[in-house]
A and B are shown apart, each in its own frame.
Chain A
């Protein structure tokens, strides 16, 4: 797949998540700008080290859920009070307790579908998308720190390489993606 713009990347692979986290602490101290970190599984505490903001997915989830609640409840209310009122078993037209189960189910359904779609959209992931990976072992057992070296001076690149080797990267390589 073609990319919008190619990016030169210098990366180092670490064998263990503790080495990776120690390395990121060093990078933070030396004010090196890490472009991305890749890991084979979610490493706890990484988001704090990389100064990620908290994900706002749960806020989106609340909004989707509220939409589901309203859709279900208002729709059933409209059907049974305005569009085609029917008496079932002598109960009032607007029999709210009987609407609770479907309202609940649609809340969950809207929230789940909405959040999953948002999650893949913000991540830029979808069926058929190919994002070039830096190394095949990153989804297996290697932990990767990547620097963007577009327009970086030779001295900067040297600094990055020094950093990677002194923090214990087992493989240092560069790639255009």
Chain B
């Protein structure tokens, strides 16, 4: 086939699947009535969404005063949650774009769900900047449009405006990339169905036929979208970090922020992908497509990015001391040993120490350990953003304005509710679309299926291996 696969690679599709088995296994769950687990999960998520809607209504109706922000601490849970969600969104594009450029075949098993996760996480992230504006009905002011005020334009020199462009571009490109891949799979679902369902999937599949010329263009488009999405995903979190780094606040004003934020984003995103995929493979019976091999690969990325993040934390500490600048030194002393010391230690324990367990192959391949680690990391990465935002703001230049901040029920409600929003979207997705990219998995079957590769391989299949070349 297209690329030579090293003999030491393990199979990525187990159970001696045929092409038709793949179609059945992946389309099947969407064609049956949802199970009890799905229904319970959906009920809980809808309850969460209701909490979200109510808390947002409360904020908009009574104003930002319902939050505990004050003159000193102007950003609290709102921007913490924004950065947390947008970071989670990064893994989908990393898996689908960067790993496509690196020709990592294991991405095919998880890219569809990871991209869906990206889109839903960005939707959740987008809520927070909008809500924290207070007067949300004026949110369109962030766009540069001809207006009757001069026209007076937005400030193109501001990182906050760069963020508007970065996140809306990221959202748009992610959706285009995701949907382009979904079209052939919707056609597969269309051709299996009848009646109304066929009409709906016909609409969604844009009339896809599987023509060889279309596939050629599809491949060309995928490659270029991947090439575009790769610098895009790096730029998005870089620009998010500029929101902090371009300000003149000790603890924020550091050049290390862009790479540190990007690594942290990938780290938290992979953790969320693992949380979701470990549940999805069990509930939707996808163990043959999302194998322990996939989980191990993702754990390796977690170990790498977790260690980058850890190095960044230590570098920050060292540089703040080495700078000889007392405000910078105090900012970091305050982070580790100030009033929010518990969030700093939570961050260090969850993000730096605990992922080191993945140096051991046994734990990288353990589903139980991986699941708990993925939750730990999500908590740790939330703490990281809280440390950067609230801890830094709580102690500024003037001791007279020092302050402390705890969220109100409204802020907690919006955060917890946003998790409900996320899961409602994800659970709906598992009902209407193939959770694994059907066509992409079929295209790696001959190189990575366990009947062709690994210890269960049947010898006669190798005869065909080189035919596809020219």
Contacts and interface: CB of A to CB of B under 8 A. Distances in A.
**Chain A complexes with chain B:** yes
Interface of A: 16-18, 21-22, 36-48, 50, 52, 54-55, 57-58, 61, 75-76, 79-80, 83-84, 86, 88-89, 91, 95, 98-99, 101-102, 104-106, 108-109, 111-113, 115-116, 119-120, 122-131, 133, 136-141, 144
A44 B1 contact: yes
B282 interface: no
11 contacts: A42-B439, A44-B468, A45-B470, A47-B212, A61-B224, A115-B221, A115-B225, A123-B213, A128-B203, A138-B209, A139-B210
A98 B156 contact: yes
B153 A18 contact: no
B439 A116 contact: no
Nearest to B174: A112
B435 interface: no
A37 B212 contact: yes
Contact of B224 (A17, A57, A126): A57
B218 to A, nearest CB: 6
B210 A106 contact: no
A7 B255 CA distance: 64
Interface in B366-385: none
Contacts of A125: 183, 206-208, 214
A102 B144 CA distance: 12
Given A39-B212, A57-B224, 12 more contacts: A40-B210, A89-B157, A101-B242, A105-B235, A116-B221, A123-B213, A123-B217, A125-B206, A126-B207, A130-B207, A139-B191, A140-B20
Interface string B30-73: 00000000000000000000000000000000000000000000
B156 A109 contact: no
B468 A18 contact: yes
A58 B442 CA distance: 26
Contacts of A136: 191-192
A25 to B, nearest CB: 10
A80 B213 CA distance: 46
Interface stretch (B162-170, B262-270, B319-327, B448-456): B162-170
A102 B159 CA distance: 10
Contacts of B217: 55, 57, 119, 122-123
A21 B468 contact: yes
Given A108-B173, A129-B207, A130-B207, A44 B212 contact: no
Nearest to A134: B209
B460 interface: no
B44 to A, nearest CB: 33
Sorted nearest first, the 5 A-B pairs with minimum C-beta distance are A141-B19, A129-B207, A41-B439, A55-B220, A44-B2
Contact of B169 (A106, A119, A133): A106
A126 to B, nearest CB: 6
B155 interface: yes
A39 B210 contact: yes
A10 B381 CA distance: 59
Contacts of A129: 206-207
B176 A113 contact: yes
B202 interface: yes
B166 A105 contact: yes
A123 B151 CA distance: 42
Contacts of A137: 20, 191
A36 B214 CA distance: 11
A111 B228 contact: yes
B468 A138 contact: no
B468 A17 contact: yes
